[in-house]
Amino acid sequence: MKPFEKLFNKLFGDARNDKKEDAEHPSPQPVKRECPSFEDDSSFIDIPSIDFFGQYTKSNSGEWAICWQDDSIENDQNIDGRYVLYNRRDNTIAMQGRLERPNNGHVANNGDFSLEDWHYGFGNELSGTLYVFSSKGKILIQKRYHANIGNSAISESGRYAICQTSQNPDSEDGNRLTVFDTEKNTQLFSIHPPAMEWADNFAFREDIQQFGIVMNKIGTFYFDREGNFLDTEGYRFAMLKSDNFYTILSAAGEMLKSTDFNKKTAEAVIDAVTRARANGKNKSDYQNALALKIQGQAYEFLGNLENTLEAFEKAIELNPKIGLKRKADALRKKILEKQQEGERR
Protein backbone atom coordinates (compact mmCIF):
# COMPACT_ATOMS: atom_id res chain seq x y z
CA MET A 1 0.00 0.00 0.00
CA LYS A 2 1.40 3.37 -0.98
CA PRO A 3 2.01 6.10 1.66
CA PHE A 4 -0.77 8.21 0.17
CA GLU A 5 -3.27 5.36 0.45
CA LYS A 6 -2.19 4.61 4.03
CA LEU A 7 -2.68 8.22 5.04
CA PHE A 8 -5.93 8.38 3.11
CA ASN A 9 -7.35 5.31 4.83
CA LYS A 10 -6.10 6.48 8.20
CA LEU A 11 -7.90 9.79 7.80
CA PHE A 12 -11.01 8.59 6.04
CA GLY A 13 -11.30 4.81 6.34
CA ASP A 14 -11.64 2.47 3.38
CA ALA A 15 -13.29 4.55 0.65
CA ARG A 16 -14.45 1.48 -1.20
CA ASN A 17 -16.54 0.20 1.70
CA ASP A 18 -17.75 3.35 3.44
CA LYS A 19 -18.37 5.87 0.66
CA LYS A 20 -22.13 6.11 1.25
CA GLU A 21 -21.76 6.84 4.94
CA ASP A 22 -19.09 9.47 4.33
CA ALA A 23 -21.11 11.25 1.67
CA GLU A 24 -23.92 11.55 4.20
CA HIS A 25 -21.69 12.32 7.18
CA PRO A 26 -18.70 14.42 6.14
CA SER A 27 -16.29 15.35 8.87
CA PRO A 28 -16.20 18.91 10.23
CA GLN A 29 -12.59 19.43 11.22
CA PRO A 30 -11.51 22.91 12.32
CA VAL A 31 -8.00 21.62 13.05
CA LYS A 32 -4.59 23.19 13.42
CA ARG A 33 -3.60 26.13 11.28
CA GLU A 34 -2.34 25.06 7.88
CA CYS A 35 0.06 26.51 5.32
CA PRO A 36 -1.35 25.30 2.02
CA SER A 37 -0.03 26.37 -1.34
CA PHE A 38 -2.74 28.04 -3.44
CA GLU A 39 -1.56 28.10 -7.02
CA ASP A 40 -3.75 30.93 -8.30
CA ASP A 41 -2.49 30.76 -11.85
CA SER A 42 -3.49 27.11 -12.25
CA SER A 43 -6.37 26.68 -9.74
CA PHE A 44 -4.61 23.90 -7.83
CA ILE A 45 -3.95 23.57 -4.12
CA ASP A 46 -1.47 21.52 -2.10
CA ILE A 47 -2.21 20.73 1.59
CA PRO A 48 0.83 18.71 2.75
CA SER A 49 -0.50 17.87 6.24
CA ILE A 50 -3.20 15.61 4.75
CA ASP A 51 -1.33 14.70 1.58
CA PHE A 52 -3.93 16.48 -0.51
CA PHE A 53 -3.38 17.91 -3.99
CA GLY A 54 -6.31 18.93 -6.13
CA GLN A 55 -8.28 21.68 -7.77
CA TYR A 56 -10.08 24.48 -5.96
CA THR A 57 -12.32 27.51 -6.40
CA LYS A 58 -12.74 30.43 -4.01
CA SER A 59 -15.82 32.25 -2.77
CA ASN A 60 -16.26 35.77 -4.11
CA SER A 61 -15.37 37.07 -0.65
CA GLY A 62 -12.09 35.13 -0.82
CA GLU A 63 -12.65 33.63 2.63
CA TRP A 64 -13.51 30.10 1.57
CA ALA A 65 -12.09 27.57 -0.85
CA ILE A 66 -13.69 24.29 -1.87
CA CYS A 67 -11.05 21.83 -2.98
CA TRP A 68 -11.52 18.49 -4.66
CA GLN A 69 -9.48 15.55 -5.83
CA ASP A 70 -11.05 13.18 -8.36
CA ASP A 71 -10.95 9.41 -7.84
CA SER A 72 -7.85 7.34 -8.48
CA ILE A 73 -7.20 3.75 -9.48
CA GLU A 74 -5.09 1.44 -7.33
CA ASN A 75 -4.70 -2.29 -8.07
CA ASP A 76 -7.47 -2.07 -10.67
CA GLN A 77 -9.92 -0.69 -8.11
CA ASN A 78 -11.39 2.77 -7.86
CA ILE A 79 -10.45 4.79 -4.79
CA ASP A 80 -13.06 7.45 -4.04
CA GLY A 81 -12.17 11.08 -4.47
CA ARG A 82 -11.82 13.63 -1.66
CA TYR A 83 -13.02 17.13 -0.96
CA VAL A 84 -11.88 19.73 1.54
CA LEU A 85 -13.58 22.95 2.64
CA TYR A 86 -10.82 25.37 3.57
CA ASN A 87 -11.18 28.63 5.51
CA ARG A 88 -8.56 30.94 4.02
CA ARG A 89 -9.10 33.64 6.65
CA ASP A 90 -8.28 31.32 9.56
CA ASN A 91 -5.99 29.00 7.54
CA THR A 92 -7.88 25.96 8.79
CA ILE A 93 -9.59 22.94 7.32
CA ALA A 94 -13.28 23.45 8.11
CA MET A 95 -14.37 19.99 6.94
CA GLN A 96 -13.48 17.18 4.59
CA GLY A 97 -15.05 14.07 3.15
CA ARG A 98 -15.19 11.97 0.03
CA LEU A 99 -17.40 11.15 -2.94
CA GLU A 100 -16.88 8.79 -5.85
CA ARG A 101 -15.71 11.48 -8.28
CA PRO A 102 -16.10 15.03 -6.89
CA ASN A 103 -15.71 17.73 -9.53
CA ASN A 104 -16.59 21.31 -10.47
CA GLY A 105 -16.96 22.73 -6.96
CA HIS A 106 -18.36 26.16 -6.08
CA VAL A 107 -18.48 27.86 -2.71
CA ALA A 108 -20.66 30.68 -1.36
CA ASN A 109 -19.58 33.55 0.88
CA ASN A 110 -21.04 31.72 3.92
CA GLY A 111 -19.01 28.57 3.26
CA ASP A 112 -21.85 26.48 1.85
CA PHE A 113 -20.65 24.68 -1.27
CA SER A 114 -21.71 22.50 -4.19
CA LEU A 115 -19.98 19.56 -5.86
CA GLU A 116 -20.81 17.37 -8.83
CA ASP A 117 -20.26 13.65 -8.29
CA TRP A 118 -19.53 12.23 -11.73
CA HIS A 119 -19.71 8.59 -10.52
CA TYR A 120 -17.60 5.79 -11.88
CA GLY A 121 -19.69 5.40 -15.04
CA PHE A 122 -19.76 1.63 -15.47
CA GLY A 123 -20.63 0.54 -19.03
CA ASN A 124 -22.70 3.10 -20.90
CA GLU A 125 -24.37 4.50 -17.79
CA LEU A 126 -24.86 8.25 -17.85
CA SER A 127 -25.35 9.62 -14.36
CA GLY A 128 -24.31 12.25 -11.86
CA THR A 129 -25.31 13.61 -8.47
CA LEU A 130 -25.38 17.25 -7.42
CA TYR A 131 -24.52 17.82 -3.76
CA VAL A 132 -24.87 21.03 -1.77
CA PHE A 133 -23.34 21.01 1.72
CA SER A 134 -23.49 23.55 4.50
CA SER A 135 -20.19 24.78 5.91
CA LYS A 136 -20.83 22.46 8.89
CA GLY A 137 -21.17 19.38 6.70
CA LYS A 138 -24.95 18.99 6.51
CA ILE A 139 -26.29 17.85 3.14
CA LEU A 140 -28.70 20.52 1.92
CA ILE A 141 -29.32 19.12 -1.57
CA GLN A 142 -28.63 15.66 -2.98
CA LYS A 143 -30.05 15.13 -6.45
CA ARG A 144 -29.11 12.18 -8.65
CA TYR A 145 -29.65 12.36 -12.42
CA HIS A 146 -29.71 9.65 -15.07
CA ALA A 147 -27.56 11.96 -17.18
CA ASN A 148 -24.13 13.52 -16.82
CA ILE A 149 -24.04 16.88 -15.06
CA GLY A 150 -22.56 19.43 -17.43
CA ASN A 151 -22.17 22.40 -15.12
CA SER A 152 -23.47 23.90 -11.90
CA ALA A 153 -23.15 26.87 -9.54
CA ILE A 154 -24.16 28.22 -6.13
CA SER A 155 -25.23 31.81 -5.44
CA GLU A 156 -23.04 34.21 -3.43
CA SER A 157 -25.26 33.90 -0.35
CA GLY A 158 -25.56 30.13 -0.69
CA ARG A 159 -29.36 30.38 -0.89
CA TYR A 160 -29.68 28.98 -4.43
CA ALA A 161 -27.97 26.31 -6.50
CA ILE A 162 -28.35 25.50 -10.18
CA CYS A 163 -27.25 22.72 -12.51
CA GLN A 164 -27.61 21.71 -16.14
CA THR A 165 -27.41 18.13 -17.43
CA SER A 166 -26.10 16.84 -20.73
CA GLN A 167 -28.16 15.03 -23.33
CA ASN A 168 -29.40 11.52 -22.62
CA PRO A 169 -31.93 10.29 -25.20
CA ASP A 170 -32.89 7.40 -22.92
CA SER A 171 -33.89 9.53 -19.92
CA GLU A 172 -36.02 12.54 -19.10
CA ASP A 173 -33.09 13.73 -16.98
CA GLY A 174 -31.14 14.67 -20.09
CA ASN A 175 -30.88 18.34 -21.13
CA ARG A 176 -32.48 19.53 -17.90
CA LEU A 177 -32.02 22.82 -16.06
CA THR A 178 -32.76 22.69 -12.32
CA VAL A 179 -32.75 25.38 -9.63
CA PHE A 180 -32.77 24.58 -5.90
CA ASP A 181 -33.61 26.61 -2.81
CA THR A 182 -30.97 25.31 -0.41
CA GLU A 183 -32.43 27.10 2.62
CA LYS A 184 -35.72 25.24 2.23
CA ASN A 185 -34.08 22.08 0.85
CA THR A 186 -36.44 22.16 -2.13
CA GLN A 187 -36.38 22.23 -5.90
CA LEU A 188 -37.79 25.45 -7.38
CA PHE A 189 -38.08 24.15 -10.93
CA SER A 190 -36.62 21.56 -13.30
CA ILE A 191 -37.24 22.08 -17.01
CA HIS A 192 -36.06 21.24 -20.49
CA PRO A 193 -35.00 24.75 -21.52
CA PRO A 194 -35.67 26.19 -24.98
CA ALA A 195 -33.12 25.31 -27.67
CA MET A 196 -29.98 27.10 -26.63
CA GLU A 197 -26.23 26.79 -26.50
CA TRP A 198 -24.53 25.27 -23.47
CA ALA A 199 -24.23 27.62 -20.51
CA ASP A 200 -20.69 28.82 -19.80
CA ASN A 201 -21.74 30.11 -16.40
CA PHE A 202 -24.77 31.05 -14.32
CA ALA A 203 -26.02 34.31 -12.80
CA PHE A 204 -28.32 34.93 -9.83
CA ARG A 205 -30.65 37.85 -9.11
CA GLU A 206 -31.38 36.68 -5.59
CA ASP A 207 -33.54 39.62 -4.54
CA ILE A 208 -36.11 38.97 -7.27
CA GLN A 209 -35.47 35.21 -7.65
CA GLN A 210 -34.30 35.17 -11.24
CA PHE A 211 -31.71 32.74 -12.54
CA GLY A 212 -29.58 33.37 -15.59
CA ILE A 213 -27.75 31.25 -18.13
CA VAL A 214 -24.54 33.00 -19.20
CA MET A 215 -23.32 32.28 -22.74
CA ASN A 216 -20.00 33.86 -23.58
CA LYS A 217 -20.08 36.30 -26.51
CA ILE A 218 -23.89 36.02 -26.64
CA GLY A 219 -25.38 37.26 -23.37
CA THR A 220 -27.13 36.35 -20.12
CA PHE A 221 -30.74 35.17 -20.21
CA TYR A 222 -33.03 34.73 -17.23
CA PHE A 223 -35.73 32.41 -15.92
CA ASP A 224 -38.14 33.24 -13.09
CA ARG A 225 -38.68 31.07 -10.00
CA GLU A 226 -41.28 28.93 -11.85
CA GLY A 227 -38.90 28.25 -14.76
CA ASN A 228 -40.56 30.64 -17.22
CA PHE A 229 -38.08 31.99 -19.76
CA LEU A 230 -38.05 35.80 -19.58
CA ASP A 231 -35.83 36.71 -22.52
CA THR A 232 -37.17 34.80 -25.52
CA GLU A 233 -36.92 37.57 -28.12
CA GLY A 234 -33.65 38.97 -26.83
CA TYR A 235 -32.17 35.49 -26.70
CA ARG A 236 -33.12 34.65 -30.26
CA PHE A 237 -31.74 37.90 -31.67
CA ALA A 238 -28.54 37.42 -29.67
CA MET A 239 -28.18 33.89 -31.02
CA LEU A 240 -28.42 35.23 -34.57
CA LYS A 241 -25.30 37.33 -33.84
CA SER A 242 -23.30 34.21 -32.99
CA ASP A 243 -20.33 33.13 -35.11
CA ASN A 244 -21.44 29.51 -34.89
CA PHE A 245 -23.11 28.10 -38.02
CA TYR A 246 -25.34 25.68 -36.09
CA THR A 247 -26.31 28.23 -33.45
CA ILE A 248 -27.54 30.63 -36.12
CA LEU A 249 -29.52 27.95 -37.95
CA SER A 250 -31.07 26.68 -34.72
CA ALA A 251 -32.16 30.17 -33.68
CA ALA A 252 -33.42 31.05 -37.15
CA GLY A 253 -35.45 27.84 -37.34
CA GLU A 254 -37.05 28.54 -33.94
CA MET A 255 -37.90 32.10 -35.00
CA LEU A 256 -39.60 30.89 -38.18
CA LYS A 257 -41.90 28.68 -36.08
CA SER A 258 -42.81 31.42 -33.59
CA THR A 259 -46.27 33.00 -33.71
CA ASP A 260 -44.79 36.52 -33.48
CA PHE A 261 -42.55 36.23 -36.56
CA ASN A 262 -42.52 39.64 -38.26
CA LYS A 263 -40.73 41.78 -40.87
CA LYS A 264 -37.92 42.77 -38.47
CA THR A 265 -37.36 39.15 -37.48
CA ALA A 266 -37.41 37.93 -41.09
CA GLU A 267 -34.78 40.50 -42.12
CA ALA A 268 -32.59 39.54 -39.15
CA VAL A 269 -32.87 35.85 -40.11
CA ILE A 270 -31.86 36.57 -43.71
CA ASP A 271 -28.82 38.61 -42.67
CA ALA A 272 -27.70 36.02 -40.11
CA VAL A 273 -28.10 33.02 -42.42
CA THR A 274 -26.30 34.85 -45.24
CA ARG A 275 -23.37 35.40 -42.86
CA ALA A 276 -23.50 31.79 -41.67
CA ARG A 277 -23.35 30.51 -45.24
CA ALA A 278 -20.42 32.78 -46.06
CA ASN A 279 -18.51 31.50 -43.01
CA GLY A 280 -19.64 27.90 -43.44
CA LYS A 281 -18.35 27.06 -46.89
CA ASN A 282 -16.78 23.90 -45.48
CA LYS A 283 -20.15 22.60 -44.30
CA SER A 284 -21.84 19.67 -46.02
CA ASP A 285 -24.31 20.07 -48.88
CA TYR A 286 -27.06 18.92 -46.51
CA GLN A 287 -26.24 21.67 -44.00
CA ASN A 288 -25.96 24.41 -46.59
CA ALA A 289 -29.20 23.25 -48.21
CA LEU A 290 -30.94 23.61 -44.84
CA ALA A 291 -29.53 27.13 -44.49
CA LEU A 292 -30.86 28.05 -47.93
CA LYS A 293 -34.27 26.60 -47.09
CA ILE A 294 -34.48 28.77 -43.95
CA GLN A 295 -33.34 31.80 -45.90
CA GLY A 296 -35.92 31.13 -48.58
CA GLN A 297 -38.71 30.82 -46.02
CA ALA A 298 -37.80 34.22 -44.59
CA TYR A 299 -37.85 35.76 -48.08
CA GLU A 300 -41.22 34.11 -48.68
CA PHE A 301 -42.63 35.73 -45.52
CA LEU A 302 -41.52 39.12 -46.88
CA GLY A 303 -43.22 38.42 -50.21
CA ASN A 304 -39.95 38.43 -52.19
CA LEU A 305 -40.81 35.60 -54.55
CA GLU A 306 -37.74 35.88 -56.80
CA ASN A 307 -35.27 35.56 -53.91
CA THR A 308 -37.38 32.81 -52.39
CA LEU A 309 -37.23 30.78 -55.59
CA GLU A 310 -33.50 31.38 -55.98
CA ALA A 311 -32.83 30.12 -52.43
CA PHE A 312 -35.08 27.08 -52.88
CA GLU A 313 -33.51 26.14 -56.22
CA LYS A 314 -30.01 26.29 -54.75
CA ALA A 315 -31.15 24.18 -51.82
CA ILE A 316 -32.65 21.56 -54.16
CA GLU A 317 -29.42 21.49 -56.19
CA LEU A 318 -27.43 20.70 -53.03
CA ASN A 319 -30.02 18.26 -51.61
CA PRO A 320 -32.75 17.05 -54.01
CA LYS A 321 -34.56 15.36 -51.08
CA ILE A 322 -34.99 18.54 -49.03
CA GLY A 323 -38.70 18.64 -49.86
CA LEU A 324 -38.91 21.94 -51.77
CA LYS A 325 -39.52 20.79 -55.36
CA ARG A 326 -43.31 21.28 -55.37
CA LYS A 327 -42.95 24.63 -53.66
CA ALA A 328 -40.33 25.76 -56.18
CA ASP A 329 -42.56 24.67 -59.08
CA ALA A 330 -45.49 26.60 -57.62
CA LEU A 331 -43.32 29.69 -57.14
CA ARG A 332 -42.08 29.52 -60.73
CA LYS A 333 -45.63 29.37 -61.97
CA LYS A 334 -46.72 32.26 -59.74
CA ILE A 335 -43.78 34.44 -60.84
CA LEU A 336 -44.52 33.68 -64.51
CA GLU A 337 -48.19 34.59 -64.07
CA LYS A 338 -47.22 37.90 -62.44
CA GLN A 339 -44.85 38.68 -65.30
CA GLN A 340 -47.52 37.88 -67.90
CA GLU A 341 -50.07 40.00 -66.06
CA GLY A 342 -47.59 42.90 -66.03
CA GLU A 343 -47.01 42.57 -69.75
CA ARG A 344 -50.76 42.69 -70.45
CA ARG A 345 -51.00 45.94 -68.55
Give the span between the Cα atoms of 178 and 192, in whole angstroms.
9
Per CATH, domain 245-344 is 1.25.40: yes
Give the span between the Cα atoms of 78 and 289, in whole angstroms.
49
Say yes or no to pLDDT of 268 above 60: yes
DSSP of 216-254, one letter per residue? TTTEEEEE-TT--BS-HHHHHHHHHT-S-HHHHHHHHHH
DSSP of 114-154, one letter per residue? EEEE-----TT---EEEEEE-TTS-EEEEEEESS-EEEEEE
Say yes or no to pLDDT of 17 above 80: no
Confidence category of residue 14, pLDDT binned at 50, 70, 90: very low
Query: Mean pLDDT throughout 41-70?
Result: 91
pLDDT above 90: percentage of residues in the chain: 62
Residue ranges covered by each domain of the chain: 3-230, 245-344
Greater confidence (243 vs 313) lies with: 313
CA torsion through residues 104, 106, 111, 113, sign: negative
Give the pLDDT of residue 27. 60
3-class SS at 75? coil
pLDDT per residue as tens digits for the range 168-220: 988 999 999 999 999 999 999 999 987 666 789 999 999 999 999 998 878 89
Query: Which CATH code for domain 3-230?
Result: 2.40.128.630
pLDDT per residue as tens digits for the range 127-170: 999 999 999 999 999 999 999 999 999 999 999 999 999 989 88
C-alpha 228, offset from chain centre: 17
pLDDT per residue as tens digits for the range 286-300: 999 999 999 999 999
Confidence category of residue 25, pLDDT binned at 50, 70, 90: low
Pairing state between β 44-47 and 102-107? unpaired
Q: Do domains 3-230 and 245-344 have the same CATH topology?
A: no
